[in-house]
Amino acid sequence: QVQLVESGGGLVQAGGSLRLSCAASGSTFSNYVMGWFRQAPGKEREFVAAIKWGSGSPYYADSVKGRFTISRDNAKNTMYLQMNSLKPEDTAVYYCAAGRIRFTGVSTFASGYDYWGQGTQVTVSS
């Protein structure tokens, strides 16, 4: 059974950096897409970034391009989100997600993912 465990959230000042980790188990993930979503109070869950596990091809929301970097370590079954130049509007609960790859490609919608982590809080102060 697939399980995702997140870590790395915390409190940081604007302009600072954080690195989120998502430890995955229960599959080789070779045919999976894994991604990060975030949800701020009163807002819908928002796509942040995704990666094809096999190829490492990344995909980013426009709001984080140039600031965030998604990556994975196949040997450790761990996905990372390096967040630089953080802004107060980045404040949210960040969720790790995984789903089997589909012929339609990488999904930017939460419904495209089957498994979710518990979430980790990221707070950016001004």
What pLDDT digit, counting tens, does each position of 30-72 carry? 899 999 999 999 999 999 999 999 999 999 999 999 999 999 9
Looking at residue 106, what is its pLDDT?
87
Q: How far apart are the first and last CA of the chain?
A: 41
99-112: average pLDDT: 87
* Sequence letter at residue 3: Q
Looking at residue 2, what is its pLDDT?
94
Q: Rounded to whole angstroms, how far apart are CA atoms 31 and 65?
A: 25
Q: Rounded to whole angstroms, how far apart are CA atoms 82 and 64?
A: 11
